[in-house]
Amino acid sequence: MVAVDEAPPPAAAKEKDRGAADPRLQGISDAIRVVPHFPKPGIMFNDITPLLLRPAVFKDAVDMFVERYRGMGIAAVAGIEARGFIFGPAIALAIGAKFIPLRKPKKLPGDVFSESYVLEYGTDCLEMHVGAIEPGDRAVVVDDLVATGGTLSAAIRLLG
Ligand SMILES: O=P(O)(O)OC[C@H]1O[C@H](OP(=O)(O)OP(=O)(O)O)[C@H](O)[C@@H]1O
Ligand SMILES: Nc1ncnc2[nH]cnc12
């Protein structure tokens, strides 16, 4: 799971990073299934659906982001369609932020900003409603994984 913000971690978080890895990480990692050659030869597909079937592990994944971002003045959690919609809203509600869906093309009915990007297996585009993010809003982008980083870069450009 990934979440991106542009702020340095607070001192307390940096202190914690120097210690042992969070024990929840192993359970989260173990609950993600790697499927070789899906959906195309050569792609190692990271499938989060087994994690979603285990509520305690699903909660650990959400909690780790909530603990990281709570109290940091985050105004918006932007979730990337489709799998960022699974984790993003729970994180947004827990930290008291608005949720902004970053959608695939032609799904949003209002005026949109669009950003195209290149994927591991194709190209795509993300759209966001004009006015969803406001000047000065501090935002976190949530998705299930980063592969080439193209999707994440497009999301950051959209919010920028
Ligand atoms: O780092 P990248 O190379 O850009 O790839 C990562 C993106 O790919 C996957 O979504 P996908 O495009 O497969 O869409 P989906 O969630 O709608 O299936 C994943 O959920 C990320 O959004
Ligand atoms: N390796 C991967 N696993 C799951 N989703 C993906 N989207 C792009 N690359 C992926």
Sequence spans of domains, the chain: 24-159
The response to whether residue 2 sits with its C-beta less than 6 Å from ligand 2 reads no
Ligand 2 atom, smallest distance to 121 CA: 8
Give the CATH architecture of domain 24-159: 3-Layer(aba) Sandwich (3.40)
Q: Say whether the ipTM exceeds 0.90.
A: yes
C-beta 120 within 6 A of ligand 2: yes
pLDDT band for 16, please (50, 70, 90 cuts).
low
To the nearest 10 degrees (0 to 180), the angle between helices 55-69 and 84-95 is 50
Please state, in angstroms and as integers, the Cα–Cα distance from residue 53 to each residue in 30, 31, 33, 57, 121, following that order.
13, 9, 12, 9, 27
pLDDT: is 13 or 41 the higher one?
41
Number of the ligand closest to the Cα of 116: 1
Cα of 29 from ligand 1 centre, angstroms: 18
Average per-residue pLDDT for the chain: 91
**pLDDT for 142 beyond 70:** yes
Ligand 1: distance of its center to the CA of 18 in Å?
31
Which residues are catalytic, by number? 83, 120
Q: Give the pLDDT band (50/70/90) at residue 5.
A: low
Residue nearest (by alpha carbon) to ligand 1 atom 19:
145
User: Residue 118 phi/psi, 5° resolution?
Assistant: -100, 135
CA gap 75, 70 in Å, rounded? 11
Predicted pLDDT of residue 7: 46
